[in-house]
Amino acid sequence: MTIIFLILLTSLSTPPPLLDAEDTIARGATAMYMISLEEGLDYWVLLSFEERMDLDIIIASDEMDYDEFIQLPYFEDYLYARGFAIAEGATEGTEDLVLTAPYTGMAYIIIHDIGETGGDYHLRLF
């Protein structure tokens, strides 16, 4: 009975993610998501994927030119986005970072397959 209560309590205390995306990335590719930020709020970004993969994640500010980004070839788009990073995760394995929004407005979540393996990933923003 106690275990069921704890599971129920945990599931009720965890808010649903603001963004919940399961997708596949091609070998060496870059994916992008747009999010809306509110200044001063903390956002938890969690990117999980298979152990054999290596993905990096950047949160780029709204100062990044979307049209320029979208026309760049793989990897160059990622390097361009890094110039506008307001948060970045570049560790091996699951990416887990907290962003305190520096402004209110749009931002871009950029995911790049730095390990050039491709595969499935799960992105969540809380």
Is residue 72 within 8 A of residue 51, CB to CB? The reply is: no
| Average pLDDT value for residue range 103-107 | 98
pLDDT of residue 66: 96
Cβ pair 67, 73 in contact under 8 A: no
- Region 98-115: mean pLDDT is 96
CATH number for domain 17-125, candidates 2.60.120.380, 3.40.190.10, 3.30.360.10, 2.30.30.60: 2.60.120.380
SS3 annotation, 76-125: HHHHHHHCCEEEEECCCCCEEEEEECCCCEEEEEEEEECCCCCEEEEEEE
Predicted TM-score (pTM) of this structure: 0.84
**What pLDDT is recorded for position 11?**
52
Question: ∠18-60-112 over CA atoms, to 5°?
Answer: 85
Give residue 8's pLDDT band: very low, low, confident or very high (50, 70, 90).
very low
* 65-101 tens-digit pLDDT: 999 999 999 899 999 999 999 999 866 778 889 999 9
Model pLDDT, residue 122: 97
What pLDDT is recorded for position 5? 46
Q: Is residue 9 scored above 80 in pLDDT?
A: no
